[in-house]
Amino acid sequence: MPVFGLGTWRMGEHPEQFAHDAEVIRAALDLGITLLDSAEMYGEGGAEEVIGQAIQGRRDGLFLVSKFYPHNASRNGVIEACERSLRRMNCDYIDLYLLHWPGSTPLERTFEGLHELRDGGKIRNFGVSNFNIGDLEAVPAADQAQLGCNQIFYNLAHREVEWEVSAWCQQRAVPLMAYSPLDQASELLRSVAINNVAARHEASAAQIALAWLLHQPNTVVIPKSARPERIRENLAALEINLSEQDLDELDSSHPAPEQAVRLGMR
């Protein structure tokens, strides 16, 4: 799995936006991005349709991630949801298909559907999103170490995953996929510590926030931008090597939790 992808939340929400958003995704592919993250929820299928338009003729070499609603997590529900996503994205398979957040359907049923999809070649692998420890423990035992990722809210201002979910995933070599890695361009990008480190690297705050996540073990980032110049800027985070001093400063200004805490959600 590539370690850097493009998020597509807020894309494809209005039909008049489709052509522009597809252009942005094509620009991202031209810049070298190969992982696209989407969900049936984004624009109620609109973001997947935009992806379908953007990847025409260039599916090979891409790693497509999409997610299904918990209310579609029954054995048949997940199969039907996947088929709808494939039609919208105009492709034959999804590389990684995730349960968007935990719901009330027993996970045994969900994973039966996911196995059927994988056996039929409609998905390459499956995983979960927004799963706390109790949710992870409820995944059928034989599937736990097979999870393609746990996609979670993770950035320097929100390190809840480090309380115990990270360790659970690392023990099973399950990658973490950090969503909202820029904390949705909030206060985080104005952090004094991040900006001090950025100045030393002649980098932007966004690049340092991403470089820090990329420094964490087995962690993938999926920042979203609808502007090609920012996508280029964000991608350059891959070239930044943070020093011990950088890491210490970031850690003391944005510490990991010191007591039990559940994952945040966006």
Ligand X SMILES: NC(=O)c1ccc[n+]([C@@H]2O[C@H](COP(=O)([O-])OP(=O)(O)OC[C@H]3O[C@@H](n4cnc5c(N)ncnc54)[C@H](OP(=O)(O)O)[C@@H]3O)[C@@H](O)[C@H]2O)c1
Q: Residue numbers of the site for ligand X (CB under 6 A)?
A: 7-9, 37, 100, 129-130, 151, 179-185, 189, 204, 206, 222-227, 230, 233-234, 266
Q: Judged by CB, which is closer to ligand X: 40, or 249?
A: 40
Q: Report in angstroms how near the CB of residue 52 gets to ligand X at its nearest.
A: 16
Q: Judged by CB, which is closer to ligand X: 133, or 226?
A: 226
Q: Report in angstroms how near the CB of residue 255 gets to ligand X at its nearest.
A: 20
Q: Mark 106-133 as b/e (b = at least 16 C-beta within 10 Å).
A: ebeebbbbbbbbbeeebbbbbbbbbbbe
Selected catalytic residue, list 42, 97, 154, 179: 42
**How many Cα atoms within 13 Å fall on the side-chain side of residue 73?**
23
Q: Judged by CB, which is closer to ligand X: 79, or 182?
A: 182
Distance (Å, whole) CA 94 – CA 114: 12
Q: Judged by CB, which is closer to ligand X: 19, or 248?
A: 19
Q: Report in angstroms how near the CB of residue 124 gets to ligand X at its nearest.
A: 19
Q: Judged by CB, which is closer to ligand X: 69, or 93?
A: 69
Euclidean distance between the first and the last CA atom of the chain, given in angstroms as a whole number: 23
154 in catalytic set: no
Q: Report in angstroms how near the CB of residue 185 gets to ligand X at its nearest.
A: 3
Q: Report in angstroms how near the CB of residue 55 gets to ligand X at its nearest.
A: 16
Asked if residue 149 lies in contact with residue 220, where contact means CB atoms within 8 angstroms, the answer is yes
Q: Would you name the residues annotated as active-site residues?
A: 42
